[in-house]
Structure 1
Amino acid sequence: MYPCLSIEGYDDSSSGGSSPVSYRSGPSESDGSSSSNADEFCPDPYPSGSDSPSSSSFVRDGVDRTSFLTAASACVLDDIDSHRQRMLALLPAFSSPAGAGARAQPLSRWLSGFGVGWVLDMDASGLTGAAAERLPRREVGRRVRAWAQALGTMERVFRLRHRELTVKQVEALGELAAASPGAMLRLARAVAALESSPSKLLAALDVYAPVSEAFPVLGRMFSWGPSHPVSAAAGGTLAALVDATRSCGRDLRAFVRSHYPWRMPQGGEVHPCVGFWMGYFRCLLRNRISLCFVLGGSGDGDGEDAPPGAEGGFGLVTELISCLEAVLEEKSAALAFPGLRQVFMLNNTFAIVRRAVRSDLKLFLPPGWVRARDERMEGFIKGYMDVSWAPVVARLDDAGGTKASAVLRRRTANRLSVFYSALENAYSAQRCWKVPNPVLRGVLRKTVSGNVVPAYRRYLEDHPEVDVAVGRSAEELEQQLSDLFEG
């Protein structure tokens, strides 16, 4: 009676059945969630100039260091030879006789050449003070990515070029190498000090990987022991990032419940939080190795401080999707009609699965995850039909044990008018409900017509004495029901 929903083009070991519904439908077949929210945590890797803050605190020595955070910086960061020439020109300032004051301006020029000169201001303004008001969340994310790319390129310059220098230049290079990563750690410490939030978790993971990879290489290259100031600072920063990441991981369920505004869409369409959080879960996997290592525990076997679902890091994503689904179901109780709640859950479950199987999230879903959502959606359709249309069709029954059926038996002549009244009430309300995806909308309309129209046609055939009013034929009823869920 009800359609069997399954993934088209998705191999799930426990799936079965067939359905015209495809979660791999093209971009024109919207699931109803906002694209801007969907891309909230998947921005372009380089910011536009219009997004950069213009405060004078980010201008030093006549250089606006935020101006380097542009798409053009991608080419500059890959130009190792250009950075080598800059390095050779700046090395005299880092020779032994030079003092810290004389090195401030060359260090600023060196970092600005990588587009990250603004890290020198991190201790003064950081990401949590007045600068936070000038830096939106996306700008913080852009800066973290620019910082990570700059640190990697800087490490390559030091690693590939220091063997070609004289002894005196190598000594100066060691001073430059100590000053540069030391300054770069300011952003990492600022990220670790942010208040717990979904954005902080992403930023901490983005920062953790380059720090854990680049600083040990630099330490071996320049023979920095564990007690060297840079090595000690890097170790302390990594520990702070691990603590921050695990703390945010423990808070994620609370974030899902409260971080996004939960104003319910009154047409039953996809809640904007679905695009927001599914995009966020995708970004968690952007640093999947760090996620696995940091959230997987310290390796001492107790697992006491690891967040729930941290086994391998990826179990957390599956649990968070389940948490999102549970919150959606809880919030659906605020909708006015039981049938609307079923439509709301159908829309949102479809959107969640569609976003999961069309992204790299599908690689980390447990066996049977998709099949379970297929069955859940079939249940939502059945529940919707039971509460919205079964009572309408029941008006045509000639027998039944309910009080309403007994009344209908005594008033056979009025049964059809009662059916028409119930039909119009259901139709007028549900025509304003929304099923944004056209394929899913078609399935739901077909299900309604497949249950209502045959029952109506049988009633007319069983009661030829009834005069059917103009516009009330079975074909016209089917056409009327095809307007449902337009919103």
Structure 2
Amino acid sequence: MEHGGFGADGGYDSGGGGSSSPASPYSGPSDSDGSSSSSSNADEFWPYPIPSPSELLRQASSLSLHANTLTPVTESSAAVLDDIDRHQQRMLALLPAFSSSSSAAAARAEALSRWLAGFEVGWVLEMGGGGGGGESLPRREVGRRVRAWAQALSTMERVFRRRHRELTGAQVAALGELAAATAGAMLRLAGAVAALGSSPSKLLAALDVYVPVSEAFPVLARLFSWGPTHPVSAAAEAALAAVVDGARSCGRDLAGFVRAHYPWRMPQGGEVHPCVGFWMGYFRCMLRNRVSLFFVLGGSEDSDGEPTPTTGLGLVAELISCLEAVLEEKSMALAFPGLRQVFMLNNTFAIMRRAVRSDLKLFLPPGWAREREERMEAYIKGYMDASWKPVVSRMDGGGGGGTKSAGGAILGRRRTNRPSAFYTALENACSAQRCWKVPNPVIRGILRKTVAENVVPAYRRYLEDHPEVEVAKGRTAEELEQHLSELFEG
């Protein structure tokens, strides 16, 4: 196994799999909204029932009580119990190296290395206190290590707690030494996370680290009677403060990350930009650690002393609005008439769908979805005005005109072939828009129906009002409607 620090880029991905693209917490293709990115799907869904905002705040307000409460351990399967028993047996075999009669530092170091390796986190010993030490690691390797570290810390706490009551006095003292050495080694990862450069990845890593440190270390301190001045307690407080400071710095930078963290090359077919899947998945990963998000990014109390959502919980709506504003701004680069509106329609729908079908909806203000629906209606109207109003107008005025003498008599009139001008404009519009992409079948159907309902009846009325016009093969109203049904295939 390779060892090392987290790398200069501060990369971190909470999901699995490999990719050289920006860390993507949710990047799998969607049949519903058409958004995708080059990374494999790495979204991690919140595995527990979603509490209401009031319940969340109640949980958040009681988090500080965990430090003074030894909650009962409940294992869900015989496999978990067997795993705990296995670690307990290893622990008993290693305790002699930490007894008061043993003064060999090398023996303790070897025993600690074997102990940590049994939890598959022996690599923490290779980390420097500030996150250095060894080679840089890929983003996804960092994410894997953070997850492994959190799981190992939880298991260690249960092992120490369950066996503590069954040991002799000398063994308890040795266990305290082992626990102190273990805690000090495990804190190296927290220091490494705090030392990462400001990035979206660092915020996710900090949120993943915050709760294990804030909950497990106070429990160990009570179990082994470590006071506030004990080296482990002091180191844990310092590491936690550094993680919080780093996370808050990233939180302040998030709006800038939304604008700059993802390549902003515009898709020329008007489809959903890959950044939508990236950032909407990122926001969901933030909420996976929603209690730590509340504490790390800020919380306040109202006049009655009750917690109220501030930066931490209100940040989601702010960041989604920032993403929408950037998309609107970048859409100006799409100069073809109507393409900008199609692009914004696709992306607004993708954002709304990902929000309302996930736990993100709990942190959005009332009327948020309805506001997006109204925007989508406006985008459709804007698209029709830009793309099809000029086409239909060719059957009205024909684009021709004459000049008048001083007395008002028409001196001459340049007659135009209105059907010909209409057909030309129609073919130009269809030729371009057939290559545009509207991945969602519902939105695609709405657009096609809207185009047909505005173009075909106007064309049919023109033919009825001008029976002298000879309709060429393939240009009946019914055939025109079929022609329009091929739009937006990409």
Tell me the TM-score normalized by structure 2. Answer: 0.81
* Stretch of structure 1 that moved more, 353-362 or 263-272: 353-362
Q: Which residue of 1 aligns with 2:474?
A: 471
Q: Which residue of 1 aligns with 2:419?
A: 416
Q: Which residue of 2 aligns with 1:170?
A: 172
Residue 131 of structure 1: how far off its partner (Å): 2.2
1:162-241 alignment, distance < 5 Å = 162-241=164-243
Match of 1:447, SS? Answer: helix
Q: Which runs of 5+ in 2 are unaligned?
A: 1-28, 48-77, 403-411
In 2, distance between residues paired with 1:267 and 1:346? 12
Q: Which residue of 2 aligns with 1:361?
A: 360
Q: Which residue of 2 aligns with 1:258?
A: 260
| Superposed CA offset, 1:151-180 (max 9, x none) | 011111111110100000000000001000
| Superposed CA offset, 1:39-62 (max 9, x none) | 3454999xxxxxxxxxxxxxxxxx
Residue 153 of structure 2: which of 144, 151, 161 is its match? 151
Q: Which residue of 2 aligns with 1:279?
A: 281
Q: In structure 1, give the amino acid aligned to 2:442.
A: V
| Superposed CA offset, 1:63-120 (max 9, x none) | xxxxxxxxxxx96797211111111111011101223221011101111111111100
Q: In structure 2, give the amino acid aligned to 1:138.
A: R
| Superposed CA offset, 1:189-223 (max 9, x none) | 00000000001000001001100000111111111
Q: Which residue of 1 aligns with 2:61?
A: none
Q: Which residue of 1 aligns with 2:441?
A: 438
In 2, distance between residues paired with 1:178 and 1:342? 61
Residue 104 of structure 2 is aligned to residue 102 of structure 1: no
Residue 294 of structure 1: how far off its partner (Å): 1.2
Q: Which residue of 2 aligns with 1:48?
A: none
Residue 33 of structure 1: how far off its partner (Å): 1.2
Residue 290 of structure 2: which of 288, 291, 294 is its match? 288
Q: Which residue of 2 aligns with 1:91?
A: 95
Residue 259 of structure 1: how far off its partner (Å): 0.6
| Superposed CA offset, 1:424-445 (max 9, x none) | 1111111111111122111111
CA contact (8 A) 1:78 1:153 kept: no
CA contact (8 A) 1:310 1:316 kept: no
In 2, distance between residues paired with 1:28 and 1:329? 22
Residue 312 of structure 1: how far off its partner (Å): 5.5
Q: Which residue of 1 aligns with 2:250?
A: 248
In 1, distance between residues paired with 2:397 and 2:79? 78
In 2, distance between residues paired with 1:326 and 1:270? 15
In 2, distance between residues paired with 1:129 and 1:457? 76
Q: Which residue of 1 aligns with 2:8?
A: none
Q: Which residue of 2 aligns with 1:483?
A: 486
In 2, distance between residues paired with 1:441 and 1:450? 14
Q: Which residue of 1 aligns with 2:84?
A: 80
Distance 1:300 1:438, change over 3 A: closer
Q: Which residue of 1 aligns with 2:329?
A: 330
Q: Which residue of 2 aligns with 1:343?
A: 342
Q: In structure 1, give the amino acid aligned to 2:218.
A: P
Q: Which runs of 5+ in 1 are unaligned?
A: 1-26, 46-73, 302-308
| Superposed CA offset, 1:374-419 (max 9, x none) | 00001111000000000101111259xxxx4757x95565111111
Q: In structure 1, give the amino acid aligned to 2:443.
A: L
| Superposed CA offset, 1:342-375 (max 9, x none) | 1000111111111112211122221100000000
In 2, distance between residues paired with 1:38 and 1:341? 28
Residue 341 of structure 1: how far off its partner (Å): 0.6
CA contact (8 A) 1:40 1:276 kept: no
Instruction: Kindly tell me the number of residue pairs found equivalent between the two proteins.
Output: 419
RMSD of Structure 2 on Structure 1 (CA): 2.6
Residue 129 of structure 1: how far off its partner (Å): 6.3
Distance 1:34 1:75, change over 3 A: farther
Q: Which residue of 2 aligns with 1:54?
A: none
| Superposed CA offset, 1:466-487 (max 9, x none) | 1111111000000111111111
Q: In structure 2, give the amino acid aligned to 1:95.
A: S
In 1, distance between residues paired with 2:85 and 2:400? 87
Distance 1:244 1:28, change over 3 A: closer
Match of 1:337, SS? Answer: coil
Match of 2:271, SS? Answer: coil
CA contact (8 A) 1:347 1:435 kept: yes
Tell me the TM-score normalized by structure 1. Answer: 0.81
Match of 2:127, SS? Answer: helix
Q: Which residue of 2 aligns with 1:304?
A: none
Distance 1:276 1:40, change over 3 A: farther
Distance 1:207 1:300, change over 3 A: farther
Match of 1:432, SS? Answer: coil
CA contact (8 A) 1:76 1:114 kept: no
CA contact (8 A) 2:456 2:481 kept: yes
In 1, distance between residues paired with 2:119 and 2:80? 7
Distance 1:455 1:35, change over 3 A: same
Residue 116 of structure 2: which of 108, 111, 115 is its match? 111
Q: Which residue of 2 aligns with 1:426?
A: 429
In 1, distance between residues paired with 2:436 and 2:413? 35
Residue 127 of structure 2 is aligned to residue 122 of structure 1: yes
**Percent identity between the aligned chains?**
78
Distance 1:213 1:81, change over 3 A: same
Distance 1:130 1:466, change over 3 A: farther
Distance 1:75 1:344, change over 3 A: farther
CA contact (8 A) 2:299 2:312 kept: no
CA contact (8 A) 1:460 1:466 kept: yes
Distance 1:224 1:217, change over 3 A: same
In 2, distance between residues paired with 1:355 and 1:171? 53
Residue 459 of structure 2 is aligned to residue 456 of structure 1: yes
CA contact (8 A) 1:211 1:234 kept: yes
* Stretch of structure 1 that moved more, 441-450 or 289-298: 289-298
Q: Which residue of 2 aligns with 1:370?
A: 369
